Amino acid sequence: MSKEAQKEKSMILQKEMIEGLFSDLANAKELGKKVCYTFIPGNLSELIRTFDMLPVYPEINALQSAMRKKSAAYIKEAERNAHSEDVCTYVKCDVGMMMKGNIGPTGQKIPEPDVLLLSYTGCFTFLKWFETLKREYPNAKVIMVHTPYQENAEMTPEMTQYMVKQFKEEVIPQMEEVTGIKYDEAKLKRHLELSAKAEDLINEIFQTTKHKPSPIDAYFAGVYYIGPINIGFRGTQEAVDYYQELLKEIHIRIEQGLGPITPEGEMKEEKYRLVVEGPPNWTSFREFWKIFYDMGAVIVASSYTKVGGVYDLGWRHDPERPLEALAEYCMNCYTNMNIPQRIDLLKKCITEYDADGYVTNSIKSCNSFSAGQLGMMREIEDSLEVPVGFIESDLVDPRYFSYSNIKNRLESYFQMLEQRKKMEKEMETA
């Protein structure tokens, strides 16, 4: 079998979707489409589509730049322009890319924004990011929505109404003004129906890791799987088709008893099942992944794949309550949950997916992820007695990924897991 044969149909589908989007973006003017920059957490894909706009996700561009080894130069450019070393590296990478001509991952130019839509305020950096962009693009309209934090571990009707009011009074009128298109609720509902379908499918996909061996890696491959649902295809038939195809492929893997696909082919032996908290490092993504699959470690669940929506707990977009559904969606993204909720979710993953360990990758420049991570880890360790590991890196700044340090810690961690497993086996046989 050649390496080419490992390209599953779903991968090709995804590639086509993304290329199509960037091609549309490059020709936005010709197509007469308005461009809306927004972020993954709490992204209002369906509403953007209802107004026929094209979405741009600056943090996705940043991570793509990192994977193409361009982030170091972009970050340097941003720092030269007075962005501090401590600023979120997604921001600096994005700003640097913009300063160097705003050429996107496909080599095509990304158009200027008509709208800067901020629909998740849990990350303070997002606010500042768009303030910065506003200075660069004075013609763009900034639309900001305040998203209440789930402080008491719930979304109350008042919180939902508070957001719906903002949609009705701020977001929709301004979008109408920019696009010249009248708000069409029936159209939004149709998108939401498709969203719910895709959400059902992706939830089912991430549940397949309960199989042993797990047919997929829910972190390193998971970040690819969440692509379509997160970057503007949620609410489209294309996304539904993609996830149906992916699920079909995974079911075949399960039938054949196959493990996850890695860049070096199929993973042969599943030795450790892990749950990972925190985003991955993008600049050395392959090397980072390799440390895990070389050790026979597969990630059966990760919090990072839930940043664009938490579907494990049953929540779906409800077409019958369109604006309420959008409000709940914004409030229900992973980092908008309070710390005890996140702990419960992670514990549920560890238990239900029968994980051997829990690893945190703490990101230097991401406050919204890093806050509370150590406490969460402690709590999980104490209540489940699961071996925990802690490593530190960064999103897209290659200066903060120290391969030998990370490998050293992970090796120690895996040897610790090995010992524990051996002990448990001995105790069982005793």
Partner 1 sequence: MEKYYLGIDLGSTTSKAVIINEKDEIIGRGITNTRANYKVAADIAREEAVYDARFTLLSQRLQKEIDSKPEFKKYMEDIRSVFQYQQFKRRMDSLEETLLATVNDFAYDNKADIVKELKMIIENIRPQIRHEFVNEDLGSKNQFFRDIVSERYNVEVENAEKSLFEPLMLAFDKSITPVENEMVKFNFKELVDESMQVLDEKYGGLADQKIEEGKEDWYYAELNAVKDNYKNVESTLRAHIDEIADQDIHISNMVGTGYGRALLPFPEDCIKSEILCHAFGAHAIFPKTRTVLDIGGQDTKAIQVDSHGLVTSFHMNDRCAAGCGRYLGYIADEFGISLNELGPEAMKADKETTICSTCTVFAGAEVKELLHNGEKRPNILAGLHKAIVQRAMSLIARSGGVREEFTFTGGVARNQAVLKYVKQMVTDSYGEVTMNIHTDSIFMGALGGAMFARRNIKVDLPSKENKIQDVTA
Binding residues vs partner 1 (CB under 8 A)? 1-3, 5-6, 262, 264-269, 271, 293-296, 364, 374, 378, 381, 387-392, 400, 402, 405, 408-409, 411-416, 418-420, 423
Q: What is the DSSP letter of 114?
A: S
Structure tokens belonging to residue 337? 């949950």
CB of 374 to partner 1, least distance (A): 6
Bond before 213 cis per omega within 30 degrees? yes
> For partner 1, which is the closer residue by CB, 146 or 378?
378
Which CB sits closer to partner 1, 134 or 407?
407
- Measure the CA–CA gap between 24 and 18, rounded to whole angstroms: 10
Distance CA 391, CA 385 (A): 19
Measured from the CB atom, the residue of 170 and 270 that comes closer to partner 1 is 270
- Extended strands (E) in 216-312: 261-262, 265-266, 272-277, 297-302
In the bound complex, what is the minimum distance in angstroms from residue 405's beta carbon to partner 1? 6
Closest to 373 measured CA to CA, from 351, 392, 399, 357: 392
**Inter-residue long-range contacts of 420-428, CB under 8 Å, 24+ positions, other chains counted:** 420/356, 420/387, 421/356
238, two tokens: 């294309």
Residue 266 Cβ, how far from partner 1 at the closest point, in Å? Answer: 7
CB of residue 382 to partner 1, shortest distance in Å: 8
Q: Quote the least distance from Cβ 214 to partner 1, whole Å.
A: 15
Least separation in angstroms between CB 1 and partner 1: 5
Closest to partner 1 by CB, 267 or 330: 267
- Pick 176 or 264: Cβ nearer partner 1: 264
d(CA 312, CA 335): 15
Nearer to partner 1, 237 or 405 (CB): 405
Let me know if 386 is exposed, middle or buried by CB neighbors in 10 A (0-12, 13-18, 19+).
Answer: buried
Specify the residue, 161 or 415, whose C-beta has the smaller distance to partner 1: 415
- The amino acid sitting at 203 is N
Residues with Cβ within 8 Å of residue 367, at least 6 apart in sequence:
88, 123, 124, 125
Minimal distance, residue 193 CB to partner 1, in Å: 40
Four-point Cα dihedral 51, 52, 54, 57, nearest 10 = 30
